[in-house]
A and B are shown apart, each in its own frame.
Chain A
Amino acid sequence: MLAAEGLDVAYGDFQVLWSAGIRVQEGEVVCLLGPNGAGKSTLMNTLSGLLKPRGGHVEFRGKRIDGVPPHEIVGEGLAHVLERRRLFPYLTVRENLLLGAHHPEARPRREESLRWVEGIFPFLTDRQKQLAHTLSGGQQQMVAIARGLMARPRCLMIDEPFLGLAPKVVQDIGAVIQQINREGITIVFIEQNVELALRLAHRGYVLESGRVILEGPSADLLQSNEVKRIFLGG
């Protein structure tokens, strides 16, 4: 469904990704692992079109999307929830959600989508008029995911959905990720906690210093000595 190959990405002269790539099948949950600064966010931002790769290519559902601007990529069915939620802080929860369905493919189904995400996150119903920046961190993360879902994506990418959240909220969001995956949405997410990530994902990719150094089914990665070396310093 989503395939990236040979991605070279740089900020100015500072190259961050070196021939990186991933492949995601329809219906999968895939996680991107790696230490701080490994280039996970950079990779995801390249897939959603926020960054243009210097080399390599990205295909989504059989279509080349590298070089396509981000506001068009979301219309193809690939949505992206940015690191640190990035809600529109001075707009209401409802306005944030509506904007999730701004693109022409999703807009006609907006009200229906709104009811759908309210079913997934019931607290949304009472918070419609609240300004986004006044929500708690966990609620903001849920609104961010809900906003991503409003785009009616076939594949949803989430950058560090669990960052800074209480254990209870981490569990809730993990359950939501599984639920929406069961509804047929392919998931790619970034997480630094190996155990947590691999419990949720079918497969994982490990990035280090801008290179994909390891990939495989979650069970294999959990056993891997390489993963232990990188993440547990063992």
Chain B
Amino acid sequence: MTAEILLQSVISGILMGFVYALIAAGLSLIFGLMEIVNFAHGEFLMLAMFGAFWGWALWSVDPLLSLPLTTLALFVLGVLTYKGIIRWILGGPMLAQIFATFGLAIFLRSAAQFLFGVDFRLIQNPWVQGRISLGGLFIGLPQLTASAAALAAFAGLYWFLRRTETGLALQATAQDRQAAALMGINTERMFALGWGIGSACVGVAGSLLAIFFYVFPDVGATFALLAYVTVALGGFGNVPATLLAGVIVGLVEVLGGMLIAPAFKYAIVFLLYLLVVLIRPQGLFGKF
């Protein structure tokens, strides 16, 4: 019985881990490119979830169906954030850089509260629901779907970065901006693209989470914090490593919650974060 519960938790931890990994990959990509932490990453996720929610509430479009559009919208939001805000503060003082995205986060959260209210909303009757049982273990289909789709998106991102010319140019820009420019790479365009792709990651993740998670203006905060931990764990800027790091965070979260106390589950995740920052500040896997 206990073994079953343990196994059940491990599975659900791994499943959530893939979603965390996708969220963190977007954050890590942007950081790797220009050493800026997007403090509005969680709010971008919240917007994606609301996008999925309103698509369902107003037009009965399932989040899985609206996912491509939501992802595209988030891509555009990322590009606009770069062109409208980030580009102007790049050379500026560190504090200005922090407050710019932090300010954007607060603005987006307040705007969502103002427009949508603070209610917790849940999509009823999504396409995928219910659960399957596997030898006595129950796995929620929404979680399974979200996890599989997040993993697929992650694989797509990895393929793009490693196997396409543009992906290579993006990595080159992250590793040496000046040398990249001398190769004929338009680094300014790479920055905009990086913000677009980094934000598109939460477009996908938000659409998937909306299938089974409550949607509310503050929903991004928890996910963003977990994403920061994941990025730190994987190594800032190391996109592939966020996959394993995401799974570790997912596992620590559920197992910590189960073995110690549910109320402590985030505390334990942050304990992990502190350990990493103190013992291996470059992350478990170093630089990509």
Contacts and interface: CB of A to CB of B under 8 A. Distances in A.
B178 A95 contact: no
Given A74-B182, A74-B184, A90-B288, A99 B175 contact: no
Given A86-B176, A88-B176, A99 B183 contact: yes
A75 B184 CA distance: 7
B183 A103 contact: yes
A50 B178 contact: yes
B260 interface: no
Contacts of A100: 183
Interface footprint category on B:
10 to 19
B181 interface: yes
A80 interface: yes
Contacts of A147: 183
Contacts of A95: 168
Contacts of B185: 71, 99, 102
A82 B175 contact: no
Contacts of A80: 182
Contacts, number: 69
B175 to A, nearest CB: 4
A183 B257 CA distance: 69
Contacts of A89: 175-176
A90 B169 contact: no
Contact of A91 (B172, B178, B182): B172
A71 B175 contact: no
A93 to B, nearest CB: 13
23 contacts: A49-B181, A50-B178, A50-B182, A69-B181, A72-B184, A75-B184, A82-B178, A88-B175, A89-B175, A90-B171, A90-B175, A90-B287, A90-B288, A91-B171, A91-B172, A91-B175, A99-B183, A99-B185, A100-B183, A102-B165, A103-B184, A104-B184, A147-B183
